[in-house]
A and B are shown apart, each in its own frame.
Chain A
Amino acid sequence: MSLVNYIYLSAILFSIGGAVVLLRRNAIIVFMGVELMLNAANLAFITFARMHGQLDGQVIALFVMVVASAEVVVGLAIIMAIFRSRRSASIDNANLLKA
């Protein structure tokens, strides 16, 4: 099995994640889409690291995981706060910042 297939998988996962972010309204689902995109990127990093025999990609992947976990904490907290105040998890309802 060629390593390139992992790149294809990564691209597919990223597109799914992107589609989820763009199409779904529920903030939790959107968040899952974001996570999916992050992990697709991680997969790409690791694959390239493997392809080139270097460790840089793996290191970056670790970084991304750390940042993603921190982001999950903050993001979920925001979603919770929005849900509490507006009784809705739809991100289209959270549009106070429109001009």
Chain B
Amino acid sequence: MTFLVTAAAAEPGAAPAYAWLLIGLPLLGAAILLLGGRKTDSFGPLLATGLSWASFVLALPLLFAMLGRAPEDRAVEHVLYSWIRAGSFQLDAGILIDPLSMSFVLLITFVGSLIHVYSLGYMKDDPGHVRHEGHTLSAWEESRQPSERRRFFAYLNLFIAAMLLLVLANSYPLLFVGWEGVGLASYLLIGFWNHNPAYATAANKAFIVNRVGDMGVIAAIMAMFAAFGATDFAGVGAAAAEADTGVLVLIGLLLLLGATGKSAQFPLQSWLGDAMAGPTPVSALIHAATMVTAGVYLIVRSAPIFNNAPTAQTAVAVIGAVTLLYGAVVGMAKDDIKKALAASTMSQIGYMMLAAGLGPAGYAYAIFHLLTHGFFKAGMFLGAGSVMHGMKDEVNMRRFGGLSTFMKITWITFGLGWLAILGVPPFSGFWSKDAIIETAFIGEGIRPWLLGGAALVGAGITAFYMSRLFFMTFHGKRRWSERDYHPHESPPTMTVPMMVLAAGSALLGLILAWPFAETKPIVAWLEPVVGYGGSEAEPVLAIPVIIALTLIFVAIGAFVAYRMYIQEDVPTTAPVGSWGTQAARADLYQEEVNRTLFEQPGVALVHGLEHTDRSGVDGTVGGLATWIGDLSSRLRRIQNGFARSYALTMLTGVVLFLGAVWVMQ
């Protein structure tokens, strides 16, 4: 808890008042592009890109100011305004800048801005409007169509703003605002080409699955409010120190539910594969580098809760281990290059979750892997986009092959990302993934063997499927004909961001885990926020043994892929494959499980309720109405329209009445 206490103690060091511009500038960009209409068509994309870079530039003085302070004074808070005031409860909306949020700000703004630049090239050829089948628009109609590019950049800026709000918030409710904001931006961008019904469905799916996780976050915030009476990070951190373990476990599990939704972790991972319906820069930015890692951020940010709730912490680690294997297995069978990368993302975030579930020893490595992954995975997604750009939007890897000679830059940048994700030293993935595997082997009993073993096997499978992807795309025989495809290198707006990200993939790990320093720089950097990162306990295996084992697994995986996909020819139509391949191709029957466990009972429940409503509630009300209706139509016959018969009725009535009176007397 010391770290949050220090965060509170650092209160006097308020963040500069302009810090909110980090969020404000991209938000302004989104507003201008969305509200400005066609006037902004010409300069809108450039403006959005500029504002995204401005946000990055603005973060730099904050970073330098932070580096200039002593490690324990680095967390600064800037209160924007008093947000919620109800009785004794008071919540300020504020910006918390500490090494953790700063790491994210730099990742988001830097990678985000690069992807803005990339999108300038990638979206250039996107039709400026929705083309309806068999309907050619006249020139006038075409000029009236809303610009799709402007909309795209507006959403990208909206995403940057929401993501920055998520990581800069100083309380869970404000974090949740950003959390929902990125969900919205993700939804809008997955369904960007929503004239294709399948893509629109994919967007809905992502949104709905995320809702399940969001419920977890909301419930967690409510539980915090009920248990601690506070929902800001400092207050929750202070209260968590002496809170009941049961409450903390509950809150931890609810937060984990939220994290599984946003980060596509088991069992809420099904949306990520379909989310590849969005344009490729979106997949790179939102569904690889930044948004999907928000779950990891949430767990690490909630360290005070998880540190005192070992059960919840173990649950995080187990979810991470399960997902890293799950994603890896699915990734082995996918032929769609983007879906294979999505499965890989799922698996890599599994590594981060595993690290985050290992407690203070793992938090820094979770963030470390998150940062390096943000670079190499974004780089590879952009590479995939570049390949698609040159191959007429083909995504089936069985139709690629031998592209290395046609797209030299894409090949090299992708290759660096590939080496990084494999964990080949000295590329960045080696440093971050290896640290996680080592930490997973710390512990007592069977736990380190299971978690560490999963991480180790996962590394081997990762090597296999990423090599498969790389070889199928860039090496081997050409499985496309010159007649149909004219592969070509992408324009510089696309290749330059790829080169920058490739440089990050190659070097970032080495820099952040500088092996000659006493403590790894990333650990020292994050220590004031997440606690001591260096492990006192030794892993159950010696560290050199772990490294050697990892490299052996990786080498085996890569070698098998080499034998299968370079030495042997790849069939252009997917072979039926074993039951394992079929299961992996079908996402391990996730859809079927969801359908059987949730959709069908849900539909049955709705049908049951509808039937109860119709026959029970409506039956009672309707029956009463029918009965009264019958009665009235019978009574109606009395009204025959003959005045004399009415008179007779009256007379009879009067006579009967008088007779009755007379009898009574």
Contacts and interface: CB of A to CB of B under 8 A. Distances in A.
Interface of A: 18, 21-23, 25, 30, 91-92, 94-99
B640 A95 contact: yes
A54 to B, nearest CB: 22
28 contacts: A21-B644, A21-B647, A22-B644, A22-B647, A22-B648, A22-B651, A23-B644, A25-B644, A91-B642, A91-B643, A92-B642, A92-B643, A92-B644, A94-B643, A95-B640, A95-B641, A95-B642, A95-B643, A96-B641, A97-B639, A97-B641, A98-B641, A98-B642, A99-B636, A99-B637, A99-B638, A99-B640, A99-B641
A21 B405 CA distance: 114
Given A91-B643, A94-B643, 18 more contacts: A18-B651, A22-B644, A22-B651, A30-B643, A91-B642, A91-B644, A92-B643, A92-B644, A95-B640, A97-B639, A98-B639, A98-B640, A98-B641, A98-B642, A99-B637, A99-B638, A99-B639, A99-B640
A95 B648 CA distance: 16
A18 B648 CA distance: 9
Interface string B181-216: 000000000000000000000000000000000000
Contacts of A18: 651
Contacts of B639: 97-99
A91 B644 CA distance: 8
Contacts of B643: 30, 91-92, 94-95
Interface of B: 636-644, 647-648, 651
A76 B375 CA distance: 101
A22 B640 CA distance: 15
Contacts of B640: 95, 98-99
Nearest to A96: B641
B594 to A, nearest CB: 59
A81 B642 CA distance: 18
B143 to A, nearest CB: 65
Nearest to B638: A99
Contacts of A98: 639-642
Contacts of B642: 91-92, 95, 98
B647 to A, nearest CB: 5
A3 B23 CA distance: 109
A45 to B, nearest CB: 17
Contacts of A97: 639, 641
A18 B651 CA distance: 8
A25 B647 CA distance: 12
B118 to A, nearest CB: 79
A25 B643 CA distance: 10
A27 to B, nearest CB: 9
Contacts of A92: 642-644
Nearest to B643: A91
A21, A25, A96, A99, most chain B CB atoms within 10 A: A99
Contacts of B648: 22
B637 to A, nearest CB: 7
Nearest to B648: A22
Nearest to A27: B643
A24 to B, nearest CB: 8
A50 to B, nearest CB: 23
Nearest 9 A-B pairs (CB), nearest first?
Answer: A98-B641, A95-B641, A99-B639, A99-B636, A91-B643, A98-B640, A21-B647, A22-B648, A22-B644
B565 to A, nearest CB: 86
A67 to B, nearest CB: 18
Contacts of A23: 644
Nearest to B633: A99
